[in-house]
Amino acid sequence: MDHFAEFLRTPREIGTIIASSKSLVAAMVDWIEWDRVEVAVEYGPGKGAITREILQRLRRRTTFFTIELNASFAASFRTALPDVRLHEESVENITGICAEHGVTKIDCVISGLPWATFSDEQQDRYLDEMLKKMPPGAQFVSFAYLVGLPLTSGRRFKRRLDDVFTSVETSEIVWKNFPPAVVYRCRK
Ligand SMILES: C[S@@+](CC[C@H](N)C(=O)[O-])C[C@H]1O[C@@H](n2cnc3c(N)ncnc32)[C@H](O)[C@@H]1O
């Protein structure tokens, strides 16, 4: 099934119908201090556009896994990247998923989730569960589409980031993406 068909089925989960561009992915993953990352998790990898670039940068000793809720994307992902561990469930189960890997903390989360399409309750639940596993200094990176920034939910998400992280940097606009986006680079 292609992205457009999936968007028609579950638009709130997916958030857009086109995979992130190389420019947007670079604006996310090049910011991460990979040498300091022992455990990295990707939220909402879809078909793996960001994952491929993460794999180029991962250190050999780093534990890495991904969490994708959508069954159709999960199937495509497994076909394209069979060696990468994917959990087909919601990110809200991050504590149990970490336990499966025998890890107690996450140093870095790379998020492709469409935060501005989530309800307040979803935003809080996903963020709160994630933050429980992140020690001070951990990094979180996520994109936000320009069209979503003025929405109440988009503004709320940014406020929540400002509240819970020690530092939050917003990148320049990445025009070479459809839709154009900014990247939030956060440190706990
Ligand atoms: C905007 S797409 C991003 C896809 C890909 N990372 C990219 O940038 O091209 C959002 C992805 O988040 C997934 N997703 C949405 N809610 C989720 C949840 N609660 N847990 C895990 N994945 C979720 C969707 O199924 C979809 O694959």
| pLDDT band of 18, cuts 50, 70, 90 | confident
Residue 1 has pLDDT above 50, yes or no: no
Mean pLDDT across the stretch 145-158?
95
Mean pLDDT across the chain, nearest whole number?
A: 93
pLDDT per residue as tens digits for the range 80-131: 999 999 999 999 999 999 999 999 999 999 999 999 999 999 999 999 999 9
Which atom of ligand 1 has the smallest separation from the CA of 73? 27
Q: 64 alpha carbon to ligand 1 midpoint, in Å?
A: 17
Report DSSP letters for the chain, one per residue. --HHHHHHH-HHHH--SSPPPHHHHHHHHTTS-GGG-SEEEEE--TTTHHHHHHHHH--TT-EEEEE---HHHHHHHHHH-TTS-EE-S-GGGHHHHHHHHT-S--SEEEE---GGGS-HHHHHHHHHHHHHHPPTT-EEEEEEEGGGTTSHHHHHHHHHHHHHSSEEEEPPPB-SSSS-EEEEEEE-
- Find where tokens 């890890």 sit: 103
Residue 15 has pLDDT above 80, yes or no: no
pLDDT per residue as tens digits for the range 58-73: 999 999 999 999 999 9
Closest residue (by CA) to atom 19 of ligand 1?
Answer: 90
Residue 79 has pLDDT above 90, yes or no: yes
Residue 11 has pLDDT above 90, yes or no: no
- Where are the chain's structural domains? 3-187
Check pocket membership of 69 for ligand 1, CB cut-off 6 A: yes
Q: 111 alpha carbon to ligand 1 midpoint, in Å?
A: 8
Predicted model pTM: 0.94
Q: Which residue has the higher pLDDT, 136 or 12?
A: 136
Q: 35 alpha carbon to ligand 1 midpoint, in Å?
A: 26
Q: What is the CATH number of domain 3-187?
A: 3.40.50.150
Which atom of ligand 1 has the smallest separation from the CA of 91? 20
Check pocket membership of 42 for ligand 1, CB cut-off 6 A: no
Closest residue (by CA) to atom 20 of ligand 1?
Answer: 90
Q: 67 alpha carbon to ligand 1 midpoint, in Å?
A: 9
Check pocket membership of 144 for ligand 1, CB cut-off 6 A: no
Residue 12 has pLDDT above 80, yes or no: no
Mean pLDDT across the stretch 14-22?
77
For a mutational test of ligand 1's pocket, the pick from 113, 117, 122, 178, i.e. the residue with the most ligand atoms closer than 8 A to its C-beta, is 113
- 4-8, 24-28, 34-38: which range is least confident on average? 4-8
Mean pLDDT across the stretch 169-181?
96
